[in-house]
C-alpha cells in the first residue's frame, strides 16, 4: 500500500507498586536482559473464541465513548492541540480492573463505564482486539499490543495471568526492577518498538522506583490511506484562524467527493473513511470560528454517538489542513482519575487481590500512577497514529442534501475522531487549534 508521510501513535502504562519492603522471595535477574526475556509460567490451553453478544460489543464501544468524553472534558483546559486514545486507555484499565475487587473494582467500573458483567466485557475486549489485529487484513496497518512487566519473584494470581494472556494477548515479562531506571528504559523501548518509534518516552524519569512491582502496558499503532486521497497538487497555503482570530498561512488540502456529511447542533460533520472501510475519521467543525470552546463544553457521549453514526453521504467540497500533533510529555493520569471518582485504587487501601495476594500486607498492590501519550499525523495520503498507556503498580510503603455540493472548510479550530465503523469504538480523539508544527 502507498504509505502516508506522517504517523499517529498512542501509548499507555499503568504502574503498580508495593506498600513496603521488597518480598523476600524476589530474585534479581538483569534489569534489561540481553537475551529473550523470561516469561512467567502460564497455563497451556488457550480458550475457545468467545461468544460475544451484540449487547456486549455495544457496551464495550460505549465505554470508550463515555470515558473518552469524560476524560477529554478534563483535558480540554490545556492549551493548544490535543490527542488521546480512549481505546488504548480502556484496554489498559480493563486489564487492571480484572485484578481488582470490592470497592476498588466498583470505583474503576463507574469511572470507565464497564458495567456489571465482567466476563462479557473481557470477552468483548478480546473480540475487539481480534478485529483490530486481524492478520489477514492488507488495506491498512493497525496493531494493538499489550504486555505485563512484572518484578521477578512476585506472586501473580494464575487466573489473572490466564485472563490477561487469553483475553488481552498480554504475556508476562519478568524484570528485576533493580536498578529501577533500567526497567523504565526497557519498557519504553518495548513501547517504541510497538509504535514504530513514535512513542519513545512513555514512562518519564522517576516513574519507576524500588517499590514498583508491575507495569500493565498497551500500545497502538495505525497507518492507513484515505479511501479517496487528496491530490497533493491541490494543496496550497491558505489562512487558518487560530483560536478564531486572524488567519495564519497553513497547507490546506482540497477535494470534492461523496462523503458522510451533515450539519447538526451548530457544527458541520464530515466522515472520511480509510481504505477498507473499517475505520474512519470524523471531523467536527463548529459553525463559528471561535466556537470550539462552546462545543467542547457541551460535548456528551450521546451527542458524540449521534455525530459519528449515520451521516448521509453526498458530494462535499472539502478543505482540510494537514496537521501533526505530538505531545511534548506523557499525561500523568492519576490526578484526573481521582477527580473523576476513583481515589481508592491509588491508595494502599486498594484491593487488587485478584491480581496478586501476598501474605504480607506490605506487598499488597495499588496503582502508583498511569501514563498516556499519543501522536497523529494527517496528510493527503492518509493518517499515521500511535498511542500508549501504562499503569504502574507498587506495594504500599482513562440534514438534508443541498442542491449543490456543500463546502466543508476547516479553516478554524475543530475536533477529530478516528472510530471503528463496525463497533463504534473510539480509537483516537482530539482537537486541532493550530495546524502548524
As a three-state string, the secondary structure of 67-116 is HHHHHHHHHCCCCCCEEECHHHHHHHHHHHHCCCCHHHHHHHHHHHCCCC
Q: Who's near 11: CB < 8 A, 6+ residues apart?
A: 88, 191, 194, 195, 199, 202, 217, 218, 219, 220, 330, 371, 372, 373, 374, 386, 387, 388, 389, 390
Do β-strands 407-409 and 267-273 pair in parallel, antiparallel, or remain unpaired? unpaired
Taking CA atoms, 131 is separated from 137, 386, 420, 432, in Å, by 9, 17, 10, 29
Cell numbers linked to 155: 506472586
Distance separating alpha carbons of residues 13 and 371, to the nearest angstrom:
5
- pTM of this structure: 0.86
Distance separating alpha carbons of residues 294 and 204, to the nearest angstrom:
33
Distance separating alpha carbons of residues 149 and 185, to the nearest angstrom:
12
Q: Who's near 327: CB < 8 A, 6+ residues apart?
A: 83, 373, 374, 375
Domain range annotation of the chain? 8-26+56-432
Are residues 272 and 279 in contact, defined by beta-carbon separation less than 8 angstroms?
Answer: no
Question: What is the CATH number that goes with domain 8-26+56-432?
Answer: 3.30.497.10
Q: Who's near 76: CB < 8 A, 6+ residues apart?
A: 82, 296, 431
Range 202-225 burial, b when 16+ CB lie within 10 A, else e: bbeeebbbebbbbbbbbbbbbbbb
Residue 245 confidence (pLDDT): 81
pLDDT along the chain (437 residues), means of 10: 33 47 34 38 44 73 93 92 95 97 97 91 93 93 96 93 97 93 96 95 94 95 96 97 89 97 94 95 96 94 89 96 92 96 96 92 92 96 95 68 78 96 93 91
Give the closest residue to 90 by CA, choosing from 416, 423, 431, 414: 423
Residue 170 confidence (pLDDT): 97
Q: Who's near 275: CB < 8 A, 6+ residues apart?
A: 1, 139, 140, 224, 225, 226, 227, 382
Amino acid at each position: 500500500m502507498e504509505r502516508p508521510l506522517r504517523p499517529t501513535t498512542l501509548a499507555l502504562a499503568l504502574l503498580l507498586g508495593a506498600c513496603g519492603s521488597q518480598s523476600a522471595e524476589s530474585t534479581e535477574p538483569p534489569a534489561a536482559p540481553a537475551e529473550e526475556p523470561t516469561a512467567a509460567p502460564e497455563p497451556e490451553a488457550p480458550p475457545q473464541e468467545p461468544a460475544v453478544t451484540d449487547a456486549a460489543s455495544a457496551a464495550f464501544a460505549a465505554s470508550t465513548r463515555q470515558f473518552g468524553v469524560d476524560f477529554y472534558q478534563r483535558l480540554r483546559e490545556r492549551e493548544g492541540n490535543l490527542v488521546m486514545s480512549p481505546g488504548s486507555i480502556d484496554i489498559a484499565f480493563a486489564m487492571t480492573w480484572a485484578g481488582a475487587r470490592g470497592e476498588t473494582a466498583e470505583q474503576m467500573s463507574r469511572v470507565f463505564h464497564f458495567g456489571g458483567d465482567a466476563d462479557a466485557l473481557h470477552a468483548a475486549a478480546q473480540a475487539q482486539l481480534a478485529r483490530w489485529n486481524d492478520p489477514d487484513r492488507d488495506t491498512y496497518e493497525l496493531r494493538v499490543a499489550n504486555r505485563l512487566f512484572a518484578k521477578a519473584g512476585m506472586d501473580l494470581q494464575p487466573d489473572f495471568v490466564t485472563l490477561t494472556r487469553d483475553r488481552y494477548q498480554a504475556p508476562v515479562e519478568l524484570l528485576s526492577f533493580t536498578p529501577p531506571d533500567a526497567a523504565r528504559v526497557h519498557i519504553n523501548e518495548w513501547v517504541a518498538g510497538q509504535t514504530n518509534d513514535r512513542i519513545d518516552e512513555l514512562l518519564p524519569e522517576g516513574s519507576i522506583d524500588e517499590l514498583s512491582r508491575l507495569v500493565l502496558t498497551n500500545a497502538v499503532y495505525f497507518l492507513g490511506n484515505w479511501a479517496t486521497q487528496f491530490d497533493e497538487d491541490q494543496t496550497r497555503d491558505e489562512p487558518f484562524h487560530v483560536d478564531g482570530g486572524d488567519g495564519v498561512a497553513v497547507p490546506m488540502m482540497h477535494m470534492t467527493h461523496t462523503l458522510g456529511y451533515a450539519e447538526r447542533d451548530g457544527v458541520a460533520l464530515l466522515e472520511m473513511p480509510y481504505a477498507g472501510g473499517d475505520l474512519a475519521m470524523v471531523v467536527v467543525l463548529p459553525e463559528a470560528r471561535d466556537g470550539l470552546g462552546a462545543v467542547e463544553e457541551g460535548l456528551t457521549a450521546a451527542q458524540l454517538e449521534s455525530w459519528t453514526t449515520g451521516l448521509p453521504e453526498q458530494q462535499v467540497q472539502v478543505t482540510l489542513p494537514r496537521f501533526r500533533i505530538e505531545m511534548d510529555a506523557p499525561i500523568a493520569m492519576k490526578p484526573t482519575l481521582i477527580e473523576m471518582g476513583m481515589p481508592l485504587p491509588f491508595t494502599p487501601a486498594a484491593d487488587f487481590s485478584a491480581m496478586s495476594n501476598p501474605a504480607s500486607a506490605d506487598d499488597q498492590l495499588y496503582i502508583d500512577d498511569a501514563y498516556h501519550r499519543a501522536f497523529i499525523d494527517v496528510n493527503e495520503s492518509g493518517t499515521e497514529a500511535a498511542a500508549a498507556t501504562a499503569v504502574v503498580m507498587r506495594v504500599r510503603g482513562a440534514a438534508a442534501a443541498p442542491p449543490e455540493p456543500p463546502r466543508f472548510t476547516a479553516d478554524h479550530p475543530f475536533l477529530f475522531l478516528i472510530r471503528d465503523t463496525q463497533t463504534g469504538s473510539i480509537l483516537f480523539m482530539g482537537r486541532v487549534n493550530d495546524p502548524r508544527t
